[in-house]
Structure 1
Amino acid sequence: MTESFPASSQPLARRGLMFILSSPSGAGKTTIARKLLGEVQGIGMSVSVTTRPMRPGEVEGRDYHFVDQPTFDAMVENGEFLEWAKVFGNCYGTPKAQIKAGLKAGQDFLFDIDWQGTQQLYQRMETDVVRVFLLPPSISELEHRLRSRGTDSDTVIAARMERARFEISHWDGYDYVVINDDIASCYDKVLTILEAERMKRARQTGLVDFTRWLMQEPSEPA
């Protein structure tokens, strides 16, 4: 009997991917992201660099990489970010070196970003990016979800709804669009997308050696 291919006892080498989840506030993005991180092996949250002050309970390197504004500006100048943006007075950026090294090693990264950040990442890392947009089943249901939180004033909710309509208008900039009318069903669909994208031929870098081995392996005698 011929010797097994060395990779047969473990998954073939694979290039990682950048899995982006976007949605209007209240459409379920955070819930889906937490389930992926808690239940799926090989995927971790992308850790951004930020100028925002550290909040109680946050940990450097786990939640964010916290830097001051001059340091962040220098990183922008040196081209160290795949994408960056200023949000509510604070800057956030995705570190290029960390992501590229992880992708090469087969690590998948989960991104919770808006359509603008998605565009920037896709322009720079096109073949490594998978874009998923979550839609609510209706605008009225989205507003109901926001109000049921009981944390925002009518003014804040109105602003979130206006922002939601704007974000929804960019649905066609994504590879996949999933309607979240049921959280369990939505999660299953998102997980199916992730698993299918992991299996794409272009990402399975170990296939070249494996198929060469298959073609050269001698047949067993009859």
Structure 2
Amino acid sequence: MSVNPMTYEAQFFGFTPQTCMLRIYIAFQDYLFEVMQAVEQVILKKLESLPGCDISPVQIRKCTEQFLCIMKGRFDNLFGKMEKLFLQMILHIPPNILLPEDKSQEMHPCSEEEFQLLQKEIEQLQGKYKAELCTKQALLAELEEQKITQAKLRQTLALFDELENIGRDHGTSDFRESLVFLAQNSRKLQNIRDNVEMEGKKLKIS
């Protein structure tokens, strides 16, 4: 089989010419094997009807296989010529033929330098796109963090509102003053606790 990739032909036909020829080869080869099996069965039936025939089925099979090898050799030789004809003439697209989707290249040709510049421009645009994509992902992550922070802030404000309502229910008009008063009392209690702990340690030592 041919090793030429024939990519342009594959683009036009929708399949590689080599694959097409391989399938034809396999189909013909399978048909040849089936024909030889049918011929062998006919020969065996004819021999059964002949009286005193000393030819065994094993001998018939051996002769059939030998004949099959000869036929396969002839077939491979003919198929090689047919493959060459198909790949060089029938399934071959001449160099001066362009596919419809490649007509734009003929109408707007570009030099090697222009092509390299376009390649560099494409790479730059891809780099900018990736950078913008990373920036977008970072902004989305920051936005998500802001949403979480806002939710926590709303919970804190709701807690303060609830404490202020409780203070009003118990006769405290200003929640901030109550909070300062609680903080001062908390510090006093902490100082008293520290003094008690110090006195306890002194007593243990004595």
Q: Same fold (TM over 0.5)?
A: no
Please identify the structure whose Cα radius of gyration is greater. Answer: 2
Report which structure shows greater RCO (CA 8 Å, sep ≥6).
1
- TM-score class, shorter: under 0.3
TM-score scaled by structure 2?
Answer: 0.21
Q: Which has the higher strand share?
A: 1
More helix by share: 2
